[in-house]
Structure 1
Amino acid sequence: MLTPSEYLIFEKERLPYLSAFLTICMVWGLSLVVAYDLLDTGIPPIFLIAVTYGLGAVTLIPAKFAFRSVPKISRDEWRYGALVGAIIFLAFGLQTVGLLYTTPAKSGLLTVLYVLFVPIIIALIQKKISWLSVLFALIGFMGVLIMSGITGGDASMNIGDVLTIICAVMFAMQFVALEKYSPRLNAVNFTLVQMITAAAIGIAVSLVFENGQYNNMGLIGSWLGLVFMGFIVTGLGFYVQTAAQKKIPSTTIAIMCCTESVFAVIFSWALGYDIITIPLFVGAVLIVASTVLSSIYERRTLIS
């Protein structure tokens, strides 16, 4: 437990990480619209993953050599970075393939199940978890459920839904793994290995399964979107997440990620892809409320 004065110092140190990660959630919300447009140009989905993570790795290479404080990549950074990178590729790969069989609304809803899977995974590995954290996660998930507008729709399951649920488990595993490994590893090195691993797996899988689709790609007109997806969304985004999880628990990170769907709706509406409805508004309020409640509860726990 922290005294009030100790907590103020702790909160002052943590605030930049919270602010930076919330900004990244906003960027990730915008990226859903950008990715939709990129796929519409004929870029194969796994190839898109490979390119974005390859560019993400390129983003971090200058940072590694620019800062003298960044050491050589250690054995643990290679080992755990490769593990998390493989998890990241599986998460995005399953999500993308799942979209071939399910609807975008159901995909978005089922992906956010990671909010529920994070506390479950933590409980399975014998780490103490508060039931209030689970409750706040459920509130955030309910917000996404309402925003999706499928509460009265088709509840049947297909292979795409199953793949997307597995994708949500992968994302939850990523959050838990980052919380476990990030505090003792260099953020630049750890993130760089993740990017290299995800890009390498993506290239290999794309060459095997998407080789015949390369001639239909519209890369020339898509370079700006690819730069945004690679350098900002992936490289900078995952670096900020890795650094933030040195200070922020995985349960809080998972709940904060729910705001990604709120930002996605805002950008989709602003760019003419969607309209703001009552379910979207109510869902957004619940998601924001779950994030705020989680933050307040964590503060009271630290100073009690």
Structure 2
Amino acid sequence: MDTTRQTKRSLPSFVYKLMLLAATVIWGFAFVVMKDAVDVLPPAQLIGVRFLLTGLLMAAVFHRHLRGSLNAGFLGAGLVLGAVTFLAFWVQTVGLAETTPGKNAFLTATYCAIVPFMLWGLTRKRPTMANVGAAVLCVAGIGLVSMTAGSFTIGFGDLMTLLCAVFFAAQIIAIARFSRRFDVLGLTAYQFLFGGAMGLVLGAAIEPAPAWEAVADLDFLLNLAYLVVFASGICYVLQNVGLAHVPEAQGSLILSLESVFGVVASVLICGELVTGRMVLGFALIFAAILISELAPARKTSEQKGCAQAEPAADDEDYAVA
């Protein structure tokens, strides 16, 4: 079976953007769940267990999408995605232990500014002024929403979080590229299987064994179920399918809303108060998304006369078989 998808897209583009938005909502609420779960399992072990269970679940549910996938190209793509995904989550968690949650959320969200410039280095495609302006507004808005009061200094935790933002940017670009060549659901299963194996190996090597009575606690098992089924399985299906049809720069901006919904979850569950600064941050983020959405439309309209030439293969849109 050919693992390359060959069926053209049948859904409107806004549906794929809504998929990305839905993923950010689930991930936002996962901040509260993750905070409790990491008290039971150390970071690498927690991510390893979470990812491996997600990969096994996805392999069972989407087993038809794995037919014909045992080849170097498909497995190599899954290995790359698994590595950058695990590194992004692990480095983020390590950084969180050495900095504040507000700084961690803000600095992680800088991946939306990194993506266009990383693409520039990889493809020689310059970021547009709209990319730059939207990214700056988005990062500023997320800073207003997520940052806690106090000085902004760069320490070890901050540097590690900035490094995780680089991995998240690389993950977005890799997903967008690979999902145009391989079946996205099968690819996502391998992404988690490889990432989970890496987490378990690293956790066994450098982290202490957990207290097994705490692992067997019902509250932890419910938190783990949310992380596996919703925050990993469902979210990454939504993300990977969405990024196959949404430009990387736009997709990264939509996905950066995760930290905003993290604040919403904190307000609803933990009783955090919404301040005027947060309201201003929401406004800036909304403006960034509008710029991201409207500027490409203008560019497409201006180039309409030149768009009658034959389309490039890389620009074709596909649907999951």
TM-score exceeds 0.5: yes
1:144-293 to 2 correspondences below 5 Å: 144-150=142-148, 153-215=150-212, 217-221=214-218, 222-293=220-291
Instruction: Kindly provide the CA deviation profile for residues 150-186 of structure 1, in whole angstroms up to 9, marking residues without a partner as x.
Output: 5x62222211111111111110111111122211111
Q: How many residues align?
A: 292
Find 1:92's aligned residue among 89, 93, 97.
89
Note the residue ranges of structure 1 that are not aligned, 5 or more in a row. 1-8
CA distance in 2 between counterparts of 1:272 and 1:14 reads 35
Partner of 1:31: 30
What letter is aligned with 1:23? A
Partner of 1:51: 49
**8 Å contact 1:18–1:244 — kept in the other structure?**
yes
Instruction: Kindly provide the CA deviation profile for residues 34-89 of structure 1, in whole angstroms up to 9, marking residues without a partner as x.
Output: 1112224x222221111211121123113323x4x663214212101101110111
Distance 1:262 1:39, change over 3 A: same
**8 Å contact 1:183–1:245 — kept in the other structure?**
no
Distance 1:99 1:141, change over 3 A: same
Shift of 1:258: 2.0
Partner of 1:5: none
**8 Å contact 2:185–2:237 — kept in the other structure?**
yes
* Farther off after superposition, 265-274 or 167-176: 265-274
CA distance in 2 between counterparts of 1:178 and 1:149 reads 29
* Farther off after superposition, 96-105 or 190-199: 96-105
Q: For 2:210, what is the secondary structure of its paired residue? A: helix
Shift of 1:216: 6.5
What letter is aligned with 2:56? V
CA distance in 2 between counterparts of 1:170 and 1:213 reads 27
- Please identify which structure carries the higher helix content: 1
Task: Give me the TM-score of the superposition, normalised by structure 1.
Answer: 0.90
**8 Å contact 2:59–2:66 — kept in the other structure?**
no
Note the residue ranges of structure 2 that are not aligned, 5 or more in a row. 1-7, 303-321
1:288-303 to 2 correspondences below 5 Å: 288-303=286-301
- Is 1:78 the counterpart of 2:85? The answer is no
CA distance in 2 between counterparts of 1:236 and 1:59 reads 11
Shift of 1:233: 1.0
**8 Å contact 2:103–2:147 — kept in the other structure?**
no
CA distance in 1 between counterparts of 2:276 and 2:10 reads 35
**8 Å contact 1:87–1:174 — kept in the other structure?**
yes
Distance 1:95 1:228, change over 3 A: same
Distance 1:19 1:127, change over 3 A: same
Shift of 1:303: 3.0
